[in-house]
Structure 1
Amino acid sequence: MVYPSVGICSLAVSFPSVRRTKDYYKEKYPEIVAQVEQKSFAKMISLDNCKPSNEFELEMMPYLSDPFRGTVEQRILAPGESSLTLEYCAAKNAIEAAKLSANDVDLLLVASFLPEQVGFGNAAFLARQLGLQCGAWNLDASCASTPIALQTACALVQAGIHRNALVAISCTYSRFFDKDDTLSWFFSDGAGAFLVSSLKPNQGILGTKTVNTSILCDQFSFKLTEDEQGNQQFRMQVPKGTNKAIGETAADLLLTCCEGAIAAAGVTLEQIDFFIFNTPTAWFASFCTRVLGIDPERTINVYPLYANIGPALTVANLYHAAHLDKIRENDLVLIYGFGAASSASASVMRWGDVALGSAPNNGSDSTMKNSETRSIISC
């Protein structure tokens, strides 16, 4: 059966207004920085033994001398900002970039990690802000939400059920860590959005492969606590063995999904022009290129700009690659994302004439170009 050509027609990103560098922590928490190797962040990203035991740990090794483990900058929510405000900005820009109106959107898929309220996702609230009349669904695949949402939206448009599906992805980790917790150095906030519609013949999504990540179910959790004023708050819990568990499983997940998507698309690894990985650590892109045996010039790494923004990383990498002309119309692009206690997923698509929303006003592309010349980010 021949399916119609469907894929991304517009793409946008949105980031909060607070930009935080390593100097913030050095100036505000000098005692913690001095003792960082005894703190939670360093314990999570470390080696039990001196020698690495897998590709993930090999690529991690150069960053262990950096107390920030390669984190350079973060984007943090300011008062009045939220996952909804970020999603709204990205979604609005994606609609406008596609030269469509709210009435043209006939499905909204939203993946918020995590939504603003307990018990309800952001989808209906975002639909209200955008003035949409269509269905609004919440989707959860943790840090794999971008490829999973893309796969879902493309399938529904290919089936003829919908014409223009809007996808919004956000991550607001800063809400779930105390500022003096060194784990907060690793996490950040951001959002992205894209419209999925019909494209020119032979463009759009060509093949996918998704597997579950139940093997990582015990690595992240949330705990309800109280602050000093007695207000209840959620705090993310990350056990010491998380880094090791990810390192031992990451290569198999990457290979299974990428090789499966390439086979489903009927192409070869060598034919892929560009690779987009979610980059939750400073070395994840290098890890992926090592495992797949590809030239590092065939991918991009926005971790130095944004740190770990969860599912929004895949959108951010995709946006910056397109904005820097690393991806051009009719290029074969593979995207990959994985999330603990969820799924790992890869998709191969032939890039269309994708309209981009306005660039983040933070000099990010020039920073991106400069960061590409540095294989190791020092402290």
Structure 2
Amino acid sequence: MKTLSGMGVLGVAIFSGDVVTNDAFPASLQTARAADPFRGRRSPDGTIRIAGMEFSHPKWSRTIRALERAFEDPFRGTRRRRYFPPGMLSSDAEAEAGRRAIEGAGLTRDRIDALLVQSFLPDEIQPQNAALVAHKLGLSNLPSWGVDSICNSPIAQLQVACALVASGQAEHVLCVHSAAYSRVQDPGSSCTFQDADMAAAFVVGPSPGSRIDCAWRTDGRLHAAIRLHWAVPQNEGVRRYWQPSRERLMVGWDEALQAQVMGELEGYTVTVCGEALARANMKIDDIDVFISHHPNAWFGAFMADALGLRDGIVFDTFEEYAVINSATLTSSIYEALRARRIERGSRVLLFGPGAGYTYGAAAMVW
């Protein structure tokens, strides 16, 4: 796979709703049954087994410490999360994030040559949001496409955008993605603590000295591990025959398949990140900042132990933003830039698993 040099991320932005803190949740939810496979158990020897994985000292010391903190916290490591207002369309949030990213890149909308959009959840099943977001941004003389690989969509969009720039078919590409998890939560499950909403965007364009190397794997055996399905919330009683259905669309897990996903994740992480680094002629110790998708509070520690990262390299936004699907990577980049953890010349490694399943990594010189 060819190195994409002389181009990079020019502007990054996010859009979110109001902050929801832990005290907004009823006390009953703190003891609700977990509806996901991320609770786990600890053996007398200190080994932790969780979701198809087994962690023991010394290799997994950071992961074990993070897991122990998560076990003790009824809020699963979250402190805040954001929800879109009830009447807000995903396309409205995406358009606002896109507008901010264009502004952050120092561009005007007429400088955007292509638009890539991913939505969890789109306004309609079909057609999805790409053309609508273009319309709301006042963009018409360009292609607007859906580029979707679920949680790692920013890496997929980054690679497609760079290919467009490298081939001369575009100079600036706007990449937009969003998550509206609050609309598919089970209100009777404690996993609502860690699900939230966010729209995020970045602009890709010419950037002398920058470079990007990507690597991917796909494993469709695991496609059904996580999905949207119609189900009755946990706190709903039996429906009388004359009452309307209480079913709603919610996120669900096949626990056996999800355990297989997690059990194989270390191998995919090491392989895909290793390939991206090799293509970039980097070693793991060269990385200044590592950013990954984070489905739970201990995922960053797990990544650090799996890859052998130095302490302090992982940057995440889980405590502040919770789980926000595809918006995770971009919101973390946004906050890392604000904190000056990423600056010109920084070596950044991105990684994300995406339901379905795909595994993507990008080694970048910023």
TM-score bracket, shorter-length normalisation:
0.7 to 0.9
Corresponding residue of 2:236: none
Q: Which moved more, 1:88-97 or 1:173-182?
A: 173-182
- CA shift at 1:71, angstroms? 2.0
Q: Which residue pairs with 1:296 in the alignment? A: 311
User: Of residues 322, 330, 343 in structure 2, which corresponds to 1:315?
Assistant: 330
Other-structure match for 1:153: 161
Alignment partner of 2:223 out of 217, 228, 241:
217
Q: Counterpart of 2:76 in structure 1: which amino acid?
A: R
1:176 and 2:184 matched = yes
Q: Look up the match of 1:76.
A: 83
* 2:10 counterpart residue number: 9
Residue equivalent to 1:355: none
Find out whether 1:345 has 2:338 as its counterpart.
no
Partner Cα separation in structure 1 for residue 360 and residue 221 of structure 2: 15
Match of 2:34 in 1: 40
Q: 1:319 to 1:32 in 2, by over 3 A?
A: closer
Q: CA RMSD in A?
A: 2.3
Which segment drifts farther, 109-118 or 303-312?
109-118
Does the CA contact (< 8 Å) of 2:4 and 2:211 recur in 1? no
Q: Is the 8 A contact 2:232 2:246 kept in 1?
A: yes
CA displacement, residues 213-250 of structure 1 (integer Å, 9 cap, x when unaligned): 43432211222358975587422212444663343122
Residues 135-184 of structure 1: per-residue CA shift (max 9 Å, x gap): 10011101111111111111111111111110001111111124333232
Matched residue, 2:279: 264
Contact 1:46 1:243 in 2 (8 A): no
How far apart, in 1, do the equivalents of 2:353 and 2:255 lie?
20
- Given that 1:146 and 1:337 are in contact with CA atoms closer than 8 Å, whether structure 2 keeps it comes out as no
Matched with 1:204 is 211
- Give the Cα–Cα distance (whole angstroms) in 1 for the partners of residues 135 and 295 of structure 2: 31
The aligned runs of 1:272-291 (5 Å cut-off) are 272-291=287-306
Write the distance in 2 (CA, Å) between the matches of 1:3 and 1:229. Answer: 54
Give yes or no for contact 1:46–1:64 (8 Å, CA) kept in 2. yes
Higher strand share: 2
Runs (5+) with no aligned partner, structure 2: 49-53, 234-242
- Which residue of 1 is the match for residue 195 of structure 2? 187
Q: Contact conserved, 1:21 with 1:72, CA < 8 A, in 2?
A: yes
AA aligned opposite 1:274 = V
Shift of 1:347: 0.6
Partners of 1:12 and 1:93 within 8 A in 2: yes
Per-residue deviation, 1:80: 2.4
Task: Indicate conservation of the 8 Å contact 2:222/2:356, yes or no.
Answer: yes
SS of the residue aligned with 2:345?
A: coil
Alignment deviations for residues 10-46 of structure 1 (CA, whole Å, 9 cap, x no partner): 11111112x2222222xx3x2342x33xx133x6222
Amino acid at match of 2:216: T
> 1:93 and 1:226, CA in 2 relative to 1: closer, same or farther beyond 3 A?
same
SS of the equivalent of 1:320 reads helix
